Amino acid sequence: MQPAMRASRVVVAVLLSWSWLVAGWAQSAAEDDARIKELKGVLDSLKYQQGEVDLKGGLAHLKLPEKLRYLGPADAEKVLVQIWGNPPMGEKPLGLIIPEGMSPVEDNAWAVIVQYEENGYVKDDDAAKINYTELLIKMQKSAQEANKERIKEGYPSVELVGWATPPRYDAQAKKLYWAKELKFGDASESTLNYNIRILGRRGVLVLNAVANMSQLAEIEQATPGILSAVEFKDGHRYADFNASTDKVASYGLAALVAGGVLAKTGFFKVLLAALLAGKKFVIVGVVALAGFVKKLFGGRKE
């Protein structure tokens, strides 16, 4: 073959490759533009509330401090599913609590997911007997065992590094809170899972915040305001329990911390599966879109 002919074929091959790259980039840019439009539409539709808010038809209420806002069930589902990429849920959460001035698509975004589990009156008589150091060791062993199945199914491993904040129980307010440090696969930064449980007459209000470990101090600072903001209403409080008519849960505080009960039904079956899978669901959703959104809303620079 003549050198000139070989050279011309090389040029044609390069041009074809370049045209395919350009076509692929154009398709990607079109998809990005469609996603931008979708995200902006969702963000513009969110209706933030402040001050006092009723939950679940009078079951409980929020009295939010100035620096916190609330999104109702429908808007909370929009954030969880349409923005953070969670699968659709059978039962909507009661809402989201999000800091004022923070958008769900920001790199440092975090929110508290609010839900209610009506599994009965949780006795707290084991509060003083729980050895949280021993409980953590058991939880870590369980996570290690579960990793075998996760890896087998193609999911990254999840390491329970330890308590980011050891469990604390306020016996007067009937509020339990703690935080775990989790590491997914070979991720460079650990994930913070902050948990709050508020005991009521027939069940538990469950609040979960998920963020990066670097945001622990920020969430710890907001925790007192969140704890004081959420209360059961009269007739649903822990003190309203009627032993002759009300169901007693089959577990205590230790099980709430260990998390085994969360796998039983509804939303928390999805939540626990997401946590264990380490996929782009609730447990990592608040940061999963960070780079993507920074590119889209910060202007395309490349």
Task: List pLDDT tens digits, range 53-111.
Answer: 999 999 999 999 989 999 999 999 998 888 877 777 677 899 999 999 998 888 788 89
CA-based angle 109:115:117, to the nearest 5? 150
CB under 8 A, 24+ apart: contacts of 180-183:
181/213, 182/158, 182/275, 182/283, 183/158, 183/159
Dist. CA 167–CA 179, nearest whole Å:
7
- To the question of pTM greater than 0.85 for the whole model, the response is no
Which pLDDT value is given to residue 301?
34
Residue 298 exposed, middle or buried by CB count within 10 Å (0-12, 13-18, 19+): exposed
Picking from 178, 180, 134, the residue whose alpha carbon sits closest to that of residue 158 is 180
Dist. CA 39–CA 121, nearest whole Å:
41
| Residue 97: both structure tokens together | 């609590």
- Contact partners, residue 167, CB within 8 Å, separation at least 6: 130, 132, 176, 177, 178, 257
Residue 271 exposed, middle or buried by CB count within 10 Å (0-12, 13-18, 19+): buried
* Packing angle of the helix pair 290-297, 3-45 (nearest 10 deg): 90
Mean pLDDT for each consecutive 10-residue tract of the chain (302 residues)?
Answer: 52 51 59 77 93 95 94 92 75 91 85 93 94 93 83 81 95 95 86 93 93 90 93 97 96 86 34 38 34 38 35
Dist. CA 206–CA 177, nearest whole Å:
10
